[in-house]
Amino acid sequence: MKILGFDSSGMVASVAIVEDDILVAEYSVNYKKTHSQTLLPMFDEVVRMTELDPESIDAIAVAAGPGSFTGLRIGMSTVKGLGLALDKPVIAVPTCHALAFNLWGSDKLICPILDARRSQVYTALYEFENGEMITLKEQEAMDIGDLTDIINTMERDVIFVGDGIPVFKERIKENVIKNVSFAPAHLNRQRAGSVAALGLIYMKEGKAESADDVKPVYLRKSQAEREREEKDGRR
Amino acid sequence: MSVNILAIESSCDETAAAVVEDGRNVKSNIIYSQIELHKLYGGVVPEIASRKHVEKINQVIRAAIDEAKVSWDDIDAVAVTYGPGLVGALLVGVSAAKAIAYAKKKPLVGVHHIEGHIAANYIENPELKPPYMCMVASGGHSHLVHVLDYNKYEIVGRTRDDAAGEAFDKVARAIGLGYPGGPKIDKLAKEGNPHAVEFPRAHMEDSYDFSFSGLKSAVLNYLNGCQMKGIEVNNADIAASFQKAVIDVLVDNSINAAKAHGCNSVALAGGVASNSSLRDAMKAACEKNGMAFYKPSPIFCTDNAAMIGVAGYHEYMAGTRHGWDLNAEPNLPMKTI
Protein backbone atom coordinates (compact mmCIF):
# COMPACT_ATOMS: atom_id res chain seq x y z
CA MET A 1 0.00 0.00 0.00
CA LYS A 2 1.36 3.41 -1.01
CA ILE A 3 0.50 6.52 1.03
CA LEU A 4 1.52 10.13 0.45
CA GLY A 5 2.06 12.31 3.50
CA PHE A 6 1.79 16.09 3.78
CA ASP A 7 2.36 18.33 6.77
CA SER A 8 2.22 22.12 6.65
CA SER A 9 0.63 22.64 10.06
CA GLY A 10 3.58 24.59 11.48
CA MET A 11 6.84 26.16 10.33
CA VAL A 12 7.93 22.90 8.68
CA ALA A 13 6.80 22.03 5.19
CA SER A 14 7.08 18.28 4.73
CA VAL A 15 6.12 15.69 2.12
CA ALA A 16 6.69 11.93 2.14
CA ILE A 17 5.93 8.68 0.40
CA VAL A 18 5.48 5.53 2.50
CA GLU A 19 5.09 2.15 0.84
CA ASP A 20 4.17 -0.55 3.37
CA ASP A 21 7.02 -0.59 5.88
CA ILE A 22 9.40 1.53 3.80
CA LEU A 23 9.83 5.29 3.79
CA VAL A 24 10.49 5.81 0.06
CA ALA A 25 11.02 9.56 0.35
CA GLU A 26 10.74 12.33 2.89
CA TYR A 27 11.49 15.99 2.30
CA SER A 28 11.21 18.52 5.13
CA VAL A 29 12.12 22.16 5.13
CA ASN A 30 12.02 24.27 8.26
CA TYR A 31 12.64 27.66 6.78
CA LYS A 32 10.73 30.93 6.56
CA LYS A 33 9.41 30.55 3.01
CA THR A 34 5.64 30.26 2.88
CA HIS A 35 4.15 26.83 2.42
CA SER A 36 2.11 27.84 -0.60
CA GLN A 37 5.39 28.43 -2.43
CA THR A 38 7.19 25.33 -1.14
CA LEU A 39 4.79 22.44 -0.60
CA LEU A 40 3.88 21.53 -4.17
CA PRO A 41 7.39 22.12 -5.61
CA MET A 42 8.72 19.84 -2.84
CA PHE A 43 6.18 17.17 -3.74
CA ASP A 44 7.12 17.54 -7.41
CA GLU A 45 10.78 17.03 -6.50
CA VAL A 46 9.97 13.87 -4.55
CA VAL A 47 7.81 12.56 -7.39
CA ARG A 48 10.60 13.07 -9.92
CA MET A 49 13.32 11.66 -7.66
CA THR A 50 11.39 8.46 -7.04
CA GLU A 51 9.78 8.26 -10.50
CA LEU A 52 6.42 8.07 -8.76
CA ASP A 53 3.29 7.77 -10.82
CA PRO A 54 0.82 9.72 -8.66
CA GLU A 55 -2.01 7.58 -10.05
CA SER A 56 -0.40 4.54 -8.37
CA ILE A 57 -0.94 5.73 -4.80
CA ASP A 58 -3.68 4.37 -2.54
CA ALA A 59 -4.41 7.42 -0.38
CA ILE A 60 -3.13 10.80 0.76
CA ALA A 61 -2.51 11.49 4.44
CA VAL A 62 -2.38 15.03 5.77
CA ALA A 63 -1.74 16.63 9.13
CA ALA A 64 -5.28 17.90 9.61
CA GLY A 65 -4.69 20.03 12.68
CA PRO A 66 -4.30 21.64 15.03
CA GLY A 67 -1.71 24.13 13.84
CA SER A 68 -1.43 27.40 11.99
CA PHE A 69 -4.86 28.03 10.44
CA THR A 70 -3.34 29.18 7.17
CA GLY A 71 -0.80 26.35 7.12
CA LEU A 72 -3.53 23.78 7.71
CA ARG A 73 -5.60 25.20 4.87
CA ILE A 74 -2.70 25.16 2.41
CA GLY A 75 -2.02 21.49 3.22
CA MET A 76 -5.68 20.51 3.24
CA SER A 77 -6.57 22.38 0.02
CA THR A 78 -3.56 20.80 -1.68
CA VAL A 79 -4.50 17.24 -0.71
CA LYS A 80 -8.17 17.86 -1.50
CA GLY A 81 -7.13 18.99 -4.98
CA LEU A 82 -4.86 15.97 -5.41
CA GLY A 83 -7.55 13.64 -4.07
CA LEU A 84 -10.13 15.07 -6.45
CA ALA A 85 -7.87 14.93 -9.49
CA LEU A 86 -6.41 11.49 -8.73
CA ASP A 87 -9.69 10.09 -7.39
CA LYS A 88 -8.02 8.98 -4.14
CA PRO A 89 -9.24 9.16 -0.54
CA VAL A 90 -7.71 11.44 2.08
CA ILE A 91 -6.70 10.44 5.61
CA ALA A 92 -6.93 13.25 8.16
CA VAL A 93 -4.17 12.59 10.70
CA PRO A 94 -4.35 14.67 13.90
CA THR A 95 -1.17 16.77 14.07
CA CYS A 96 -0.39 15.74 17.67
CA HIS A 97 -0.85 12.05 16.86
CA ALA A 98 1.69 12.33 14.05
CA LEU A 99 4.16 14.22 16.25
CA ALA A 100 3.88 11.59 18.97
CA PHE A 101 4.46 8.90 16.33
CA ASN A 102 7.92 10.47 15.77
CA LEU A 103 8.81 8.93 19.15
CA TRP A 104 7.56 5.44 18.34
CA GLY A 105 8.38 2.91 21.04
CA SER A 106 9.34 5.35 23.78
CA ASP A 107 8.60 4.10 27.30
CA LYS A 108 7.87 7.65 28.47
CA LEU A 109 4.71 9.66 28.50
CA ILE A 110 4.74 11.51 25.14
CA CYS A 111 3.52 15.10 25.06
CA PRO A 112 3.36 17.04 21.79
CA ILE A 113 3.05 20.80 22.29
CA LEU A 114 2.35 23.33 19.58
CA ASP A 115 2.50 27.02 20.37
CA ALA A 116 -1.12 28.25 20.29
CA ARG A 117 -0.26 31.82 21.44
CA ARG A 118 -1.94 33.52 24.41
CA SER A 119 0.21 31.24 26.68
CA GLN A 120 -1.68 28.22 25.40
CA VAL A 121 -0.55 25.07 23.64
CA TYR A 122 -2.27 22.59 21.38
CA THR A 123 -1.45 19.37 23.11
CA ALA A 124 -2.35 15.74 23.78
CA LEU A 125 -0.84 12.80 25.70
CA TYR A 126 0.22 9.37 24.42
CA GLU A 127 2.05 6.23 25.42
CA PHE A 128 3.29 3.16 23.55
CA GLU A 129 2.24 -0.29 24.64
CA ASN A 130 3.55 -3.29 22.72
CA GLY A 131 4.29 -1.13 19.70
CA GLU A 132 0.84 0.42 19.67
CA MET A 133 0.26 4.11 20.27
CA ILE A 134 -2.42 4.78 22.85
CA THR A 135 -4.05 8.18 23.25
CA LEU A 136 -4.26 9.09 26.93
CA LYS A 137 -5.64 12.57 26.34
CA GLU A 138 -7.17 13.81 23.09
CA GLN A 139 -5.87 16.96 21.37
CA GLU A 140 -7.03 20.28 22.75
CA ALA A 141 -5.92 23.85 23.29
CA MET A 142 -5.01 24.49 26.91
CA ASP A 143 -3.01 26.70 29.20
CA ILE A 144 0.57 25.46 29.65
CA GLY A 145 0.11 25.55 33.45
CA ASP A 146 -2.96 23.31 33.27
CA LEU A 147 -1.03 20.88 31.08
CA THR A 148 1.87 20.54 33.51
CA ASP A 149 -0.65 20.03 36.35
CA ILE A 150 -2.21 17.11 34.46
CA ILE A 151 1.23 15.63 33.71
CA ASN A 152 2.16 15.85 37.40
CA THR A 153 -0.92 13.82 38.40
CA MET A 154 0.32 11.02 36.12
CA GLU A 155 3.63 10.72 37.97
CA ARG A 156 5.62 9.57 34.93
CA ASP A 157 8.72 10.63 33.07
CA VAL A 158 7.67 12.67 30.08
CA ILE A 159 9.19 13.58 26.72
CA PHE A 160 8.05 16.67 24.83
CA VAL A 161 7.92 17.17 21.08
CA GLY A 162 6.80 20.08 18.92
CA ASP A 163 7.37 23.77 18.23
CA GLY A 164 6.02 24.74 21.66
CA ILE A 165 9.29 23.56 23.23
CA PRO A 166 11.39 26.71 22.63
CA VAL A 167 8.51 28.85 23.92
CA PHE A 168 7.67 26.89 27.08
CA LYS A 169 10.83 24.89 27.90
CA GLU A 170 11.71 26.86 31.04
CA ARG A 171 8.19 26.75 32.47
CA ILE A 172 7.99 23.02 31.80
CA LYS A 173 11.30 22.39 33.58
CA GLU A 174 10.11 24.46 36.54
CA ASN A 175 6.65 22.94 36.83
CA VAL A 176 7.02 19.25 35.98
CA ILE A 177 8.06 17.12 38.98
CA LYS A 178 9.24 13.92 37.25
CA ASN A 179 12.06 13.63 34.70
CA VAL A 180 11.59 15.77 31.62
CA SER A 181 13.23 15.32 28.25
CA PHE A 182 12.87 16.98 24.89
CA ALA A 183 12.98 15.22 21.54
CA PRO A 184 16.21 15.79 19.53
CA ALA A 185 16.52 17.82 16.33
CA HIS A 186 15.59 15.08 13.88
CA LEU A 187 12.40 14.14 15.77
CA ASN A 188 11.09 17.30 17.43
CA ARG A 189 9.09 18.83 14.58
CA GLN A 190 6.40 17.75 12.14
CA ARG A 191 7.48 15.03 9.71
CA ALA A 192 5.38 13.90 6.79
CA GLY A 193 6.95 10.45 7.16
CA SER A 194 5.12 10.06 10.46
CA VAL A 195 1.92 11.42 8.93
CA ALA A 196 2.12 8.90 6.10
CA ALA A 197 3.11 5.95 8.31
CA LEU A 198 0.26 6.67 10.73
CA GLY A 199 -2.01 7.33 7.76
CA LEU A 200 -1.27 3.85 6.49
CA ILE A 201 -2.42 2.36 9.80
CA TYR A 202 -5.61 4.47 9.69
CA MET A 203 -6.17 3.46 6.08
CA LYS A 204 -6.13 -0.21 7.11
CA GLU A 205 -8.57 0.65 9.91
CA GLY A 206 -10.93 2.13 7.32
CA LYS A 207 -10.53 5.73 8.45
CA ALA A 208 -10.00 7.27 5.01
CA GLU A 209 -12.44 9.98 3.94
CA SER A 210 -13.62 11.39 0.64
CA ALA A 211 -11.38 14.24 -0.54
CA ASP A 212 -14.56 16.32 -0.95
CA ASP A 213 -15.63 16.06 2.69
CA VAL A 214 -12.36 16.12 4.64
CA LYS A 215 -11.59 19.37 6.44
CA PRO A 216 -9.07 20.80 8.92
CA VAL A 217 -9.38 20.41 12.68
CA TYR A 218 -8.69 23.88 14.08
CA LEU A 219 -9.63 23.22 17.73
CA ARG A 220 -10.44 26.92 17.94
CA LYS A 221 -13.20 29.07 16.57
CA SER A 222 -12.38 32.21 14.63
CA GLN A 223 -11.88 35.35 16.68
CA ALA A 224 -15.08 36.86 15.25
CA GLU A 225 -17.11 33.83 16.35
CA ARG A 226 -15.56 33.85 19.82
CA GLU A 227 -16.27 37.56 20.28
CA ARG A 228 -19.81 37.16 19.07
CA GLU A 229 -20.47 34.30 21.48
CA GLU A 230 -18.97 36.28 24.37
CA LYS A 231 -21.24 39.18 23.49
CA ASP A 232 -24.29 36.90 23.31
CA GLY A 233 -23.29 35.34 26.63
CA ARG A 234 -23.22 38.73 28.33
CA ARG A 235 -26.71 39.63 27.15
CA MET B 1 -10.24 22.63 -31.74
CA SER B 2 -11.83 24.46 -28.89
CA VAL B 3 -9.94 25.45 -25.74
CA ASN B 4 -11.54 24.65 -22.39
CA ILE B 5 -10.43 26.34 -19.19
CA LEU B 6 -11.30 25.06 -15.72
CA ALA B 7 -11.43 28.20 -13.59
CA ILE B 8 -11.42 28.60 -9.81
CA GLU B 9 -12.14 31.72 -7.76
CA SER B 10 -12.02 32.14 -3.96
CA SER B 11 -10.77 35.67 -3.38
CA CYS B 12 -13.50 36.83 -1.01
CA ASP B 13 -16.72 35.16 0.16
CA GLU B 14 -17.75 33.24 -2.95
CA THR B 15 -16.37 29.77 -3.65
CA ALA B 16 -16.67 29.37 -7.41
CA ALA B 17 -15.62 27.15 -10.28
CA ALA B 18 -16.48 27.18 -13.98
CA VAL B 19 -15.63 25.66 -17.31
CA VAL B 20 -15.33 28.15 -20.17
CA GLU B 21 -14.80 27.31 -23.84
CA ASP B 22 -12.79 29.62 -26.09
CA GLY B 23 -13.04 32.55 -23.74
CA ARG B 24 -16.75 33.17 -24.38
CA ASN B 25 -18.88 30.09 -24.02
CA VAL B 26 -19.66 29.40 -20.36
CA LYS B 27 -20.29 25.67 -20.03
CA SER B 28 -20.78 25.81 -16.28
CA ASN B 29 -20.66 28.50 -13.62
CA ILE B 30 -20.99 27.21 -10.05
CA ILE B 31 -21.03 29.73 -7.20
CA TYR B 32 -21.35 28.89 -3.54
CA SER B 33 -22.12 32.17 -1.79
CA GLN B 34 -21.30 32.49 1.90
CA ILE B 35 -23.24 35.70 2.27
CA GLU B 36 -25.70 34.34 4.84
CA LEU B 37 -22.77 33.36 7.06
CA HIS B 38 -21.24 36.83 7.01
CA LYS B 39 -24.52 38.73 7.48
CA LEU B 40 -24.27 37.90 11.19
CA TYR B 41 -21.11 39.99 11.37
CA GLY B 42 -22.13 42.86 9.10
CA GLY B 43 -19.36 42.10 6.64
CA VAL B 44 -16.99 39.44 5.41
CA VAL B 45 -14.93 37.82 8.18
CA PRO B 46 -11.71 36.58 6.52
CA GLU B 47 -11.12 33.57 8.81
CA ILE B 48 -14.71 32.36 8.47
CA ALA B 49 -14.57 32.85 4.68
CA SER B 50 -11.31 30.89 4.43
CA ARG B 51 -12.70 28.00 6.46
CA LYS B 52 -15.84 27.79 4.35
CA HIS B 53 -13.81 27.81 1.12
CA VAL B 54 -11.94 24.67 2.26
CA GLU B 55 -15.22 22.91 3.00
CA LYS B 56 -16.81 23.78 -0.34
CA ILE B 57 -13.94 23.89 -2.83
CA ASN B 58 -14.10 20.30 -4.06
CA GLN B 59 -17.90 20.19 -4.34
CA VAL B 60 -17.88 23.38 -6.39
CA ILE B 61 -15.12 22.17 -8.74
CA ARG B 62 -16.76 18.78 -9.17
CA ALA B 63 -20.11 20.42 -9.94
CA ALA B 64 -18.47 22.67 -12.55
CA ILE B 65 -16.91 19.67 -14.33
CA ASP B 66 -20.15 17.64 -14.15
CA GLU B 67 -22.41 20.41 -15.35
CA ALA B 68 -20.10 21.28 -18.24
CA LYS B 69 -20.25 17.61 -19.30
CA VAL B 70 -16.50 17.59 -19.98
CA SER B 71 -13.90 15.02 -19.05
CA TRP B 72 -10.47 15.90 -17.69
CA ASP B 73 -9.07 15.19 -21.17
CA ASP B 74 -11.14 18.09 -22.52
CA ILE B 75 -9.59 20.57 -20.07
CA ASP B 76 -6.66 22.48 -21.58
CA ALA B 77 -5.60 24.52 -18.56
CA VAL B 78 -6.51 25.39 -14.99
CA ALA B 79 -6.96 29.10 -14.26
CA VAL B 80 -7.17 30.50 -10.76
CA THR B 81 -7.54 33.90 -9.11
CA TYR B 82 -4.30 34.59 -7.20
CA GLY B 83 -4.99 38.21 -6.22
CA PRO B 84 -6.00 40.72 -5.17
CA GLY B 85 -8.24 39.59 -2.31
CA LEU B 86 -8.21 38.09 1.16
CA VAL B 87 -4.99 36.13 1.44
CA GLY B 88 -6.43 33.21 3.44
CA ALA B 89 -9.35 32.92 1.04
CA LEU B 90 -7.16 33.15 -2.08
CA LEU B 91 -4.82 30.43 -0.75
CA VAL B 92 -7.58 27.82 -0.77
CA GLY B 93 -8.34 28.25 -4.46
CA VAL B 94 -4.68 28.64 -5.41
CA SER B 95 -3.61 25.51 -3.48
CA ALA B 96 -6.42 23.38 -4.88
CA ALA B 97 -5.93 24.66 -8.44
CA LYS B 98 -2.20 23.97 -8.33
CA ALA B 99 -2.75 20.44 -7.00
CA ILE B 100 -5.35 19.67 -9.68
CA ALA B 101 -3.23 21.10 -12.49
CA TYR B 102 -0.24 19.16 -11.18
CA ALA B 103 -2.05 15.84 -10.83
CA LYS B 104 -3.75 16.17 -14.24
CA LYS B 105 -0.59 17.52 -15.94
CA LYS B 106 -2.36 20.69 -17.11
CA PRO B 107 -0.83 24.16 -17.49
CA LEU B 108 -1.53 26.52 -14.59
CA VAL B 109 -2.61 30.08 -15.32
CA GLY B 110 -2.90 32.63 -12.50
CA VAL B 111 -5.50 35.33 -13.09
CA HIS B 112 -5.91 38.83 -11.65
CA HIS B 113 -9.34 39.19 -10.03
CA ILE B 114 -10.09 42.62 -11.55
CA GLU B 115 -9.00 41.45 -15.00
CA GLY B 116 -11.54 38.70 -14.49
CA HIS B 117 -14.31 41.18 -13.70
CA ILE B 118 -13.48 43.15 -16.86
CA ALA B 119 -13.38 39.96 -18.95
CA ALA B 120 -16.90 39.07 -17.77
CA ASN B 121 -18.08 41.52 -20.43
CA TYR B 122 -16.92 39.22 -23.26
CA ILE B 123 -19.27 36.42 -22.21
CA GLU B 124 -22.48 37.96 -23.50
CA ASN B 125 -21.14 40.65 -25.81
CA PRO B 126 -19.40 38.91 -28.73
CA GLU B 127 -19.01 42.24 -30.55
CA LEU B 128 -17.06 43.83 -27.68
CA LYS B 129 -13.36 44.07 -28.43
CA PRO B 130 -10.62 46.24 -26.91
CA PRO B 131 -9.97 49.11 -26.73
CA TYR B 132 -12.70 50.43 -24.43
CA MET B 133 -13.13 52.15 -21.08
CA CYS B 134 -14.27 49.95 -18.17
CA MET B 135 -15.57 51.09 -14.80
CA VAL B 136 -14.85 48.34 -12.27
CA ALA B 137 -16.74 48.89 -9.01
CA SER B 138 -17.22 46.39 -6.22
CA GLY B 139 -17.04 46.04 -2.45
CA GLY B 140 -13.26 45.98 -2.53
CA HIS B 141 -12.31 47.78 -5.74
CA SER B 142 -13.09 50.92 -7.72
CA HIS B 143 -10.99 51.36 -10.83
CA LEU B 144 -11.46 53.11 -14.11
CA VAL B 145 -9.54 50.97 -16.57
CA HIS B 146 -8.60 51.71 -20.17
CA VAL B 147 -8.64 48.23 -21.70
CA LEU B 148 -6.04 48.37 -24.48
CA ASP B 149 -6.05 44.69 -25.32
CA TYR B 150 -7.36 41.42 -23.82
CA ASN B 151 -4.53 41.43 -21.30
CA LYS B 152 -3.18 44.95 -21.49
CA TYR B 153 -4.56 47.66 -19.27
CA GLU B 154 -4.06 51.22 -18.21
CA ILE B 155 -5.59 52.39 -14.94
CA VAL B 156 -6.80 55.92 -15.56
CA GLY B 157 -8.67 56.46 -12.30
CA ARG B 158 -9.13 54.85 -8.92
CA THR B 159 -10.73 55.56 -5.58
CA ARG B 160 -8.62 57.54 -3.18
CA ASP B 161 -10.32 56.02 -0.14
CA ASP B 162 -13.41 53.78 0.06
CA ALA B 163 -14.46 51.45 -2.73
CA ALA B 164 -17.91 52.23 -4.14
CA GLY B 165 -19.41 49.04 -2.72
CA GLU B 166 -17.90 49.81 0.67
CA ALA B 167 -19.70 53.18 0.71
CA PHE B 168 -22.96 51.39 -0.13
CA ASP B 169 -22.42 48.97 2.77
CA LYS B 170 -21.64 51.73 5.26
CA VAL B 171 -24.61 53.90 4.31
CA ALA B 172 -26.88 50.84 4.32
CA ARG B 173 -25.78 50.07 7.86
CA ALA B 174 -26.43 53.68 8.92
CA ILE B 175 -30.03 53.56 7.71
CA GLY B 176 -30.59 50.11 9.17
CA LEU B 177 -30.64 48.08 5.96
CA GLY B 178 -27.90 45.62 6.95
CA TYR B 179 -25.35 43.73 4.87
CA PRO B 180 -24.79 43.57 1.96
CA GLY B 181 -25.82 47.14 1.32
CA GLY B 182 -25.69 47.42 -2.48
CA PRO B 183 -28.80 45.47 -3.50
CA LYS B 184 -30.78 46.83 -0.53
CA ILE B 185 -30.04 50.46 -1.32
CA ASP B 186 -30.73 49.83 -5.01
CA LYS B 187 -34.19 48.49 -4.11
CA LEU B 188 -35.11 51.12 -1.53
CA ALA B 189 -33.84 53.96 -3.75
CA LYS B 190 -36.54 53.16 -6.30
CA GLU B 191 -39.11 54.47 -3.79
CA GLY B 192 -37.16 57.63 -2.93
CA ASN B 193 -36.42 61.02 -4.44
CA PRO B 194 -32.82 61.22 -5.70
CA HIS B 195 -32.91 65.03 -5.40
CA ALA B 196 -34.24 65.11 -1.82
CA VAL B 197 -30.78 65.79 -0.41
CA GLU B 198 -27.97 67.17 -2.54
CA PHE B 199 -24.99 65.22 -1.22
CA PRO B 200 -21.53 66.34 -2.44
CA ARG B 201 -19.94 64.87 -5.56
CA ALA B 202 -16.17 64.73 -5.31
CA HIS B 203 -14.55 65.53 -8.65
CA MET B 204 -10.77 65.55 -8.66
CA GLU B 205 -9.05 68.12 -10.79
CA ASP B 206 -6.83 66.80 -13.60
CA SER B 207 -7.69 63.24 -12.67
CA TYR B 208 -10.37 60.61 -13.10
CA ASP B 209 -9.87 59.45 -9.52
CA PHE B 210 -12.84 59.42 -7.20
CA SER B 211 -13.51 59.55 -3.48
CA PHE B 212 -16.48 58.20 -1.58
CA SER B 213 -15.32 58.82 1.96
CA GLY B 214 -16.53 62.44 1.97
CA LEU B 215 -19.91 61.42 0.58
CA LYS B 216 -20.26 58.69 3.18
CA SER B 217 -19.43 61.19 5.95
CA ALA B 218 -21.90 63.69 4.51
CA VAL B 219 -24.67 61.08 4.69
CA LEU B 220 -23.75 60.10 8.24
CA ASN B 221 -23.55 63.78 9.31
CA TYR B 222 -26.91 64.48 7.70
CA LEU B 223 -28.50 61.55 9.54
CA ASN B 224 -26.88 62.66 12.77
CA GLY B 225 -28.08 66.24 12.31
CA CYS B 226 -31.66 65.12 11.68
CA GLN B 227 -31.56 62.97 14.78
CA MET B 228 -30.32 65.88 16.91
CA LYS B 229 -33.03 68.15 15.60
CA GLY B 230 -35.67 65.46 15.93
CA ILE B 231 -36.41 65.53 12.18
CA GLU B 232 -37.81 62.30 10.81
CA VAL B 233 -35.68 60.91 7.99
CA ASN B 234 -37.11 59.29 4.87
CA ASN B 235 -34.67 56.43 4.35
CA ALA B 236 -35.80 55.90 0.77
CA ASP B 237 -34.88 59.52 -0.03
CA ILE B 238 -31.50 59.08 1.65
CA ALA B 239 -30.84 55.88 -0.29
CA ALA B 240 -31.88 57.48 -3.58
CA SER B 241 -29.91 60.71 -3.00
CA PHE B 242 -26.77 58.89 -1.87
CA GLN B 243 -26.95 56.45 -4.75
CA LYS B 244 -27.44 59.29 -7.23
CA ALA B 245 -24.31 60.99 -5.91
CA VAL B 246 -22.23 57.81 -6.34
CA ILE B 247 -23.61 57.13 -9.79
CA ASP B 248 -23.09 60.69 -11.03
CA VAL B 249 -19.39 60.46 -10.18
CA LEU B 250 -18.96 56.99 -11.69
CA VAL B 251 -20.78 57.93 -14.89
CA ASP B 252 -19.17 61.37 -15.34
CA ASN B 253 -15.67 60.00 -14.83
CA SER B 254 -16.26 57.07 -17.17
CA ILE B 255 -17.61 59.24 -19.97
CA ASN B 256 -14.95 61.93 -19.56
CA ALA B 257 -12.15 59.35 -19.49
CA ALA B 258 -13.61 57.57 -22.53
CA LYS B 259 -13.70 60.86 -24.45
CA ALA B 260 -10.18 61.82 -23.41
CA HIS B 261 -8.80 58.43 -24.50
CA GLY B 262 -10.81 58.26 -27.71
CA CYS B 263 -12.90 55.24 -26.68
CA ASN B 264 -16.18 54.58 -28.43
CA SER B 265 -17.27 51.99 -25.90
CA VAL B 266 -17.81 51.96 -22.16
CA ALA B 267 -18.29 48.85 -20.03
CA LEU B 268 -19.23 48.18 -16.43
CA ALA B 269 -17.82 45.42 -14.23
CA GLY B 270 -17.76 44.26 -10.62
CA GLY B 271 -20.46 43.70 -8.02
CA VAL B 272 -21.69 47.31 -8.08
CA ALA B 273 -22.26 46.94 -11.84
CA SER B 274 -25.39 44.98 -10.86
CA ASN B 275 -26.93 48.21 -9.56
CA SER B 276 -29.91 48.89 -11.80
CA SER B 277 -29.75 52.69 -11.53
CA LEU B 278 -26.05 52.69 -12.40
CA ARG B 279 -26.74 50.52 -15.44
CA ASP B 280 -29.56 52.82 -16.57
CA ALA B 281 -27.57 56.00 -15.97
CA MET B 282 -24.44 54.72 -17.75
CA LYS B 283 -26.53 53.51 -20.70
CA ALA B 284 -28.24 56.89 -21.02
CA ALA B 285 -24.94 58.77 -20.81
CA CYS B 286 -23.36 56.52 -23.44
CA GLU B 287 -26.30 56.99 -25.79
CA LYS B 288 -26.12 60.75 -25.34
CA ASN B 289 -22.43 60.69 -26.23
CA GLY B 290 -22.72 58.25 -29.12
CA MET B 291 -20.84 55.48 -27.30
CA ALA B 292 -21.64 51.80 -27.14
CA PHE B 293 -22.46 50.52 -23.65
CA TYR B 294 -21.70 47.02 -22.34
CA LYS B 295 -22.42 45.27 -19.08
CA PRO B 296 -22.39 41.69 -17.83
CA SER B 297 -25.57 40.06 -16.50
CA PRO B 298 -25.72 40.33 -12.70
CA ILE B 299 -24.61 36.68 -12.31
CA PHE B 300 -21.34 37.59 -14.05
CA CYS B 301 -20.97 40.86 -12.06
CA THR B 302 -20.80 39.14 -8.71
CA ASP B 303 -17.61 37.22 -7.92
CA ASN B 304 -17.68 34.13 -10.17
CA ALA B 305 -15.27 31.78 -11.86
CA ALA B 306 -16.65 32.09 -15.40
CA MET B 307 -15.03 35.51 -15.65
CA ILE B 308 -11.74 33.97 -14.44
CA GLY B 309 -12.13 31.36 -17.17
CA VAL B 310 -12.50 34.11 -19.78
CA ALA B 311 -9.51 36.12 -18.53
CA GLY B 312 -7.62 32.84 -18.06
CA TYR B 313 -8.28 31.91 -21.69
CA HIS B 314 -6.70 35.15 -22.94
CA GLU B 315 -3.73 34.67 -20.61
CA TYR B 316 -3.37 31.06 -21.75
CA MET B 317 -3.46 32.06 -25.42
CA ALA B 318 -0.87 34.78 -24.71
CA GLY B 319 1.41 32.10 -23.28
CA THR B 320 1.09 32.88 -19.56
CA ARG B 321 2.09 29.88 -17.43
CA HIS B 322 2.64 29.82 -13.69
CA GLY B 323 4.83 27.43 -11.69
CA TRP B 324 3.95 25.17 -8.77
CA ASP B 325 5.26 27.89 -6.48
CA LEU B 326 2.42 30.27 -7.42
CA ASN B 327 1.43 32.15 -4.28
CA ALA B 328 -1.64 34.15 -3.31
CA GLU B 329 -0.94 37.86 -3.66
CA PRO B 330 -3.45 39.95 -1.69
CA ASN B 331 -2.26 43.22 -3.26
CA LEU B 332 -1.50 41.96 -6.75
CA PRO B 333 -1.22 44.92 -9.14
CA MET B 334 -2.80 44.86 -12.59
CA LYS B 335 -0.61 44.29 -15.64
CA THR B 336 -0.60 47.90 -16.69
CA ILE B 337 1.45 49.45 -19.44
**Residues A56 and A19: beta-carbon distance below 8 Å:** no
Distance CA A47, CA A42 (A): 9
- Is the per-residue pLDDT at B180 higher than 70? yes
For A130, residues 6+ apart whose C-beta sits below 8 A from its C-beta are none
CATH number of B4-119+304-317: 3.30.420.40
Interface check A211 vs B, CB under 8 A: yes
- Asked if B48 and A212 come within 8 Å (Cβ–Cβ), the reply is no
| Predicted local distance difference test score (pLDDT) of residue A69 | 97
- Do the strands B4-9 and B75-83 form a parallel or antiparallel pair, or are they unpaired? parallel
Find residue B149's DSSP bridge partners: B152
- Residue A29: the pLDDT is 97
pLDDT band at B42 (very low <50, low <70, confident <90, very high): confident
Q: Which of A185-189, B187-191, B200-204 has the lowest mean pLDDT?
A: B200-204
CB A64 within 8 Å of CB A96: no
Give tens-digit pLDDT for B68-108: 999 999 999 999 999 999 999 999 999 999 999 999 999 99
SS3 of chain B: the string is CCCEEEEEECCCCEEEEEEEECCCEEEEEEEEECHHHHHCCCCCCHHHHHHHHHHHHHHHHHHHHHHHCCCHHHEEEEEEEEECCCHHHHHHHHHHHHHHHHHCCCCEEEEEHHHHHHHCHHHHCCCCCCCEEEEEECCCCEEEEEEEECCEEEEEEEECCCCHHHHHHHHHHHCCCCCCHHHHHHHHHCCCCCCCCCCCCCCCCCCCCECCHHHHHHHHHHHHHHHHHCCCCCHHHHHHHHHHHHHHHHHHHHHHHHHHCCCCEEEEECHHHHCHHHHHHHHHHHHHCCCEEECCCHHHHCCCCHHHHHHHHHHHHCCCCECCCCCCCCCCCCCEC
Mean pLDDT of A221-231: 90
pLDDT computed for residue A70 by the predictor: 97
Closest Cβ–Cβ partner in A36, A69, A211 for B95? A36
pLDDT of residue A212 exceeding 70, the answer is yes
Residue A33 has pLDDT above 90, yes or no: no
Top CATH class of B129-296 equals alpha beta
Task: State which residue of chain A sits closest to B71, comparing Cα positions.
Answer: A85
CATH 3.30.420.40 residue spans of chain B: 4-119+304-317, 129-296
Q: Do A73 and B95 touch (CB under 8 A)?
A: yes
Q: Is B181 on the interface with A (CB under 8 A)?
A: no
CATH homologous superfamily for A2-96+189-221? ATPase, nucleotide binding domain (3.30.420.40)
Alpha-carbon gap, residue B295 to B137, rounded angstroms: 12
Work out the pLDDT band at B57, boundaries 50, 70, 90: very high
Q: Per-residue pLDDT tens for A105-155?
A: 999 999 999 999 989 999 999 999 999 999 999 999 999 999 999 999 999
**Cβ–Cβ under 8 Å, residues B102 and A40:** yes
pLDDT of residue B139: 84
What pLDDT band is residue A234 in, cutting at 50, 70 and 90?
low
- How many angstroms separate the CA atoms of A207 and A97, rounded? 14
CB contacts of A73 in chain B (<8 Å) are 50-51, 53-54, 88, 91-92, 95
Q: Categorize the per-residue pLDDT at B140 as very low, low, confident or very high, splitting at 50, 70 and 90.
A: confident
Distance from CA of B327 to the nearest CA of A (A): 6
Quote the minimal CA–CA distance from B92 to chain A in Å: 6
**pLDDT value at residue B221:** 95
Distance from CA of B158 to the nearest CA of A (A): 30
Scanning A124-183 for CB atoms below 8 A from B yields none
Under an 8 A CB cutoff, do B324 and A215 touch? Answer: no
Q: Rounded to a whole number, what is the distance in Å from the CA of A83 to chain B's nearest CA?
A: 9
Instruction: Establish whether this prediction's ipTM goes over 0.90.
Output: yes
CB of B41 less than 8 A from some CB of A? yes
- The answer to whether the CB atoms of A73 and B72 lie below 8 A apart is no
d(CA A108, CA B253): 72
pTM above 0.90, yes or no: yes
Q: Domain A105-182 belongs to what topology? A: Nucleotidyltransferase; domain 5 (3.30.420)
